[in-house]
A = this chain, B = another copy of it.
Amino acid sequence: MTGSLGHVETQRVVLASPDDPLRLRGGGRLDHVEVAYETYGELSPARDNAVFICHALTGDAHAAGLHVGSKKRGWWDNLIGPGKPVDTDQFFVISANLLGGCSGTTGPLSTDPATGAPYCLGFPMLHMSDLVAVHRRLVAHLGIERLHAAVGGSLGGMQVLQWVIDGPGALDRAVLVAASSRLSAENIAFSAIGREAIMSDPDFCNGRYVEQGVFPWRGQKVARMMAHVTYVSAQSLETKFGHRRRSRGDAWTLAPDYEVEHYLQHQGQVFLDRFDALSYLYLTRLLDYFDPFADPGTAEALRSTATRFQLTSFDSDWRFDSTQSARMAAQLEELGVAVDWAELASPHGHDSFLLQPQGYHERIAEFLG
């Protein structure tokens, strides 16, 4: 029977220390890495039923269920739970905040042990491999040798691909939704404009806004409003808002008036409460640089893997369009990797991966089952 998880808790664990630092792919190291994570379901005695959830750019560890005192369910609650496609009656589900994030895992606002102050722009540039390395440490910490699956959408799907490259024996099944192995120029362009908005905000203070007691809210709001438009489809905006205004009569104004404007204002505003500007810079930038098939070791690693891939893209997703999944599928196939790619119909653009377009959840359930 399908149900929803009840109360869940975010836990924290320290996974790197001066004695066991996290050495970064681009050089440098982190002497202290803390990770925020949640688990749902029970680990089997054989420790072979673990499914790792990889979140998207602005996600967090709270993927399913409810925190005590909150009515807001986790961001992938429709996918994860008893009897759901990622079935917590069957799987031990792990969801962790990313390195570089701002929801409990070490990131740019964490304290640099070397200075006692926040890293800010002193935080090292991250490679997708660094994010994977931290989550592999978490998996090991939980006593798991091999994952049944890793499941991720958008950035999360890209992390799943890196996970297999860095550990060809680390998982049985890789589920990538609305992902890419190399961003398009247009995709990079939108991220770059968002970063420009944040970094040119006077309250960015060269990254030291926390110490100044300010926040580059103007820039981050604009970045989010723009990103949001790219995460949905023109059709979905048209259906939802059309040309409808909130004000009545003939009085025209430069202030928000059309319903779509009020909606974007709201989206921009709520984002300020839940995300940090430096994390936004670091994690978007990591996506731009993600290009694993350009790495010499990638082909060899993938040729050796027994991991089976499932790729899903959506026909109205123009930020991570289907051609990118198609290209990735072809590259994997060429290396002898088992891959099943499908483009599903959905009017909701990139955000489709968070929703339930027809055939999507069924497809994941079948692949994991």
Contact residues of A with B, CB < 8 Å?
26, 121, 125, 182-186, 188-190, 192-193, 195-197, 199-202, 218-219, 221-222, 225-226, 229, 234, 237-238, 240-243, 250, 252-254, 256-258, 260-261, 264-265, 268, 281-282, 285, 288-289, 291, 318, 321
Known: A186-B237, A190-B229. 14 other contacts (CB 8 A): A125-B253, A186-B238, A186-B260, A188-B261, A189-B264, A193-B222, A193-B226, A200-B221, A202-B218, A219-B222, A226-B226, A243-B291, A254-B281, A257-B288
In the assembled complex, 13 residue pairs joining A and B whose CB atoms fall closer than 8 Å, in A order, are A121-B254, A125-B254, A184-B238, A185-B260, A186-B229, A189-B225, A189-B264, A193-B226, A196-B268, A200-B221, A202-B202, A226-B226, A243-B291
Complex CA distance for A242 and B258, rounded to whole angstroms: 35
10 smallest beta-carbon distances between A and B, as pairs: A185-B237, A125-B252, A200-B218, A186-B234, A185-B241, A185-B260, A192-B261, A193-B225, A197-B222, A186-B237
Q: Which residues of chain B have C-beta atoms less than 8 A from A186's C-beta?
A: 229, 234, 237-238, 260
Complex CA distance for A261 and B281, rounded to whole angstroms: 14
B26 touches A250 (CB 8 A): yes
Copy number in the complex reads 2
Complex CA distance for A199 and B225, rounded to whole angstroms: 14
**CB closest chain-B residue, reference A228:** B189
B252 touches A225 (CB 8 A): no
Q: Which residues of chain B have C-beta atoms less than 8 A from A193's C-beta?
A: 222, 225-226, 229, 264
